[in-house]
Structure 1
Amino acid sequence: MNSVLGMIIAFDTDNDLREITEHRTVGAVQWGGRYRIIDFMLSNMVNSGIYRVGVLMKDKYQSLIDHIGNAKDWDLSRKNSGVTLLPPYSYSKKASPLVTGEYRGKIDALAGAVDFLQKNRADYVVVADGDIVANVPLDDVIDRHIKSGADLTMVCTKKQKNSPFTTYVELNRKKEAVDIRVGDCNEGKCKHAALGIYVMSRQYLIHMLSDCVTHNCIHFEREFLTRALMDGTVAGYLFNEYAVKIEDTFDYYRSNMDMLDKDVRNEVFKRTRPILTRIKDEAPTYYGDEADVEDCLIADGCRIEGKVKNSVLFRDVVIEKGAEVNNCIIMEGGRILTEASLRHVITDRNVIIRDGRTMMGHENYPITIAKNATV
């Protein structure tokens, strides 16, 4: 799909992931045993034939750069296209007249990349957040957008929860937006939530960015979308398959636990639309004589000698004899030592839980342990 440019917002705006995003953005957070969250949007674009992608960054992006690398694992290491990393201040005021200074939000970030938008003469642009877990057929979204004649098309899902970070949408019978609200579903009248994926023409995006910057608008959902709704037509594309926008720790925990359900995994990981990630070669996982494992997702390179149930283990995790891990997410390099007991706990990378320690959270509020901590 040579006429479409992808723009991924790969920096944090509004979320509550606490310790998990202390050292990285949401898109760079490990997920599902072997992936990073940004893998979903990169894969969605590649699977839809979008091979020109800009990744907008702001801060804490070293982990993201290390993960993407030259993007060959997504077939985006190409001569005339591929991934362009767009850190802050990549474009000076001379190169981009819309740059006003430090990024205050998505509008400033997109305006700072207006030179990139102008040089890539695509007909359409897909602007997407990098915190989405979903296998979305973007090619179908683009086709629907073109046929609808709308100025902007936003991908929507059924409202799943009330959250101050969620953008709620009210659609009419023609699947056109009639109301867009952030953090307020208007007493249930807005029955859908924006997933964070928007399709529009490139010229329309550049025009709207100029208009928003001129009027000192900085919030994409509150101001950009509202102006689009007032001045034109905003269409809604209903995506009814599994989709989670990672806005808080509960979203992260729930989306990982959901993957223990085979039906959900099959809905997200499709053979015809694979979710790609950076390849790392590891030895197979070792299971000791006393290992007791039930209903888990376990990556390569682990050593398990204790009990693990209903959990997600990333690469190079060690569960020693006598240790019990139940309904937990143990990220790469985790060490759960002898007789330790964990329930509803998320450990970031390289966390060590000492002998005999007991930690218990709740499925609605799991305990989160920061990177490199020893407990």
Structure 2
Amino acid sequence: MSRLLGVIDATNLIEGLQDLTLNRSAASIPFAGRYRFIDFILSNMVNSGVESVAIFPKHQYRSLMDHIGSGKNWDLDRKKNGLFFFPPCFEPNENSSVGSFARLEQHIDFFKRSHQDYVFIANSYVITNVDIEEALAEHLIHDHDITELMSHDQSLEMYILKKSLLIELIENRKTSQFISISDVANQTLHNYNIGTYNHNGYVAVMNSIRSYFNHSMDLLDHSVWNQLFSSDRPVFTKVKDEPPTRYSAESVVTNSMIANGATIKGNVDSSIISRAVKIGEGALVKNCIVMQKSHIGENCTLEYVILDKNVRVLDGVTLKGTPDKPLVLRKGSVREMAVSK
């Protein structure tokens, strides 16, 4: 039986990703053609033997709940333990730091009833493949009160601590003035022993459109892909049955990721194409991210563009962003006139 209880704080509203979070939470932003942000931390937990995971959503979480469902794809649809969703209650002046004690206090009975001795608290917008069991072992060896996971001196905003200590911090939050687990880890005026666990694998912190675009393009490097998608620590996601992608005789695809169910009749270069995308004849899609069910018409030219789900680009349109400022087409939009940046 796992000694760890998993907690995913999916409440953060990241201003830099606003174009992609108008209709969804950051946790459910599509990534790598067929995954969502939350798939990575959730898979990290499952691969580390965590059998009970609590997800705390807040903003626009319908798509997140639809994606996760009962947790079946992560083997979390269990009669005992498994997956728990805790939608928020109203909390005036609630802070946005990871592991907010005010949010956790609303469901403190869950923590008191759970049988695990330790808690792993994480955000949903850091993409990595980390061995939480190894981090727990280091936490126990050094007898830390709180272990903060780090990568090259950067906090991953992931923490391990005893469940009893978490309950104590929650119950004493009004007298101690600590507002969250990240607040405790960053403070020095207390008697808690704060340690660190250094993770050396690839890390993507998704806090802006630029970081989202750059980290997505990183996946076209096989060494990065192999760090995130390891055969012994797989990344699970919602399964969708799609037919193979169809390529016309005139299509040309180079250095790109193409998901199932797409139809490619034009040219695709250094891009990430999601499920059921259609790219028309004579189109050029270069350095782009195209999300599910988007449709690019004939003789279009797109460079450094992010197309959210269900976007339509009509025939003959040219759209160009830049590497530092990619152009974002919001979910469900239709573009029929040329825009150049």
The alignment's TM-score, normalised by the length of structure 1, stands at: 0.85
* Contact 2:101/2:169, CA 8 A, preserved across alignment: no
Tell me the SS of whatever aligns to 1:154: strand
Tell me the SS of whatever aligns to 1:224: helix
5 Å matches for 1:137-152? 137-152=131-146
1:209 aligns with 2:170: yes
The residue that corresponds to 2:110 in the other structure is 116
Distance 1:219 1:152, change over 3 A: closer
1:337-362 per-residue CA deviation (whole Å, 9 max, x = no partner) reads 11111111101000011111111111
| Structure-1 separation of matches of 2:57 and 2:305 | 29
1:101-159 per-residue CA deviation (whole Å, 9 max, x = no partner) reads 5743333222222121111131100000011211000000011101111110011012x
Q: Residue 147 of structure 1 aligns to which amino acid in structure 2? A: I
* Contact 1:88/1:103, CA 8 A, preserved across alignment: no
Distance 1:325 1:100, change over 3 A: closer
5 Å matches for 1:190-201? 192-201=153-162
The residue that corresponds to 2:222 in the other structure is 262
* Contact 1:152/1:228, CA 8 A, preserved across alignment: no
| Structure-2 separation of matches of 1:292 and 1:50 | 43
Within the candidate set 277, 285, 288, 1:317 is matched to 277
The alignment's TM-score, normalised by the length of structure 2, stands at: 0.93
Tell me the SS of whatever aligns to 1:247: coil
| Structure-2 separation of matches of 1:248 and 1:143 | 33
* Contact 1:208/1:224, CA 8 A, preserved across alignment: no
5+ long unaligned stretches in structure 2 = 336-341
1:254-295 per-residue CA deviation (whole Å, 9 max, x = no partner) reads 121111111111111111110011110001000011101101
5+ long unaligned stretches in structure 1 = 90-98, 159-191
Alpha-carbon shift at residue 15 of structure 1 (Å) = 4.1
Within the candidate set 228, 240, 248, 1:288 is matched to 248
The residue that corresponds to 1:349 in the other structure is 309
* Contact 2:256/2:270, CA 8 A, preserved across alignment: yes
- Report which stretch shifted further, 13-22 or 70-79: 13-22
The residue that corresponds to 2:212 in the other structure is 252
Alpha-carbon shift at residue 226 of structure 1 (Å) = 3.4
Tell me the SS of whatever aligns to 2:190: helix
1:203-232 per-residue CA deviation (whole Å, 9 max, x = no partner) reads 1111122233445554553x3323476321
| Structure-2 separation of matches of 1:254 and 1:49 | 31
1:223-254 per-residue CA deviation (whole Å, 9 max, x = no partner) reads 33234763211111111110112111112111
| Structure-1 separation of matches of 2:159 and 2:220 | 30
| Structure-2 separation of matches of 1:346 and 1:211 | 45
The residue that corresponds to 2:338 in the other structure is none
Tell me the SS of whatever aligns to 2:16: coil
Tell me the SS of whatever aligns to 1:198: strand
Within the candidate set 121, 125, 130, 1:136 is matched to 130
| Structure-2 separation of matches of 1:334 and 1:5 | 38
Could you say what the CA RMSD is over the residues aligned between the two structures, in angstroms? 1.6
Number of residues of Structure 1 aligned to a counterpart in Structure 2: 332
Tell me the SS of whatever aligns to 2:172: helix
* Contact 1:5/1:126, CA 8 A, preserved across alignment: yes
The residue that corresponds to 2:41 in the other structure is 41
| Structure-1 separation of matches of 2:133 and 2:20 | 32
* Contact 2:148/2:185, CA 8 A, preserved across alignment: no
5 Å matches for 1:62-81? 62-81=62-81
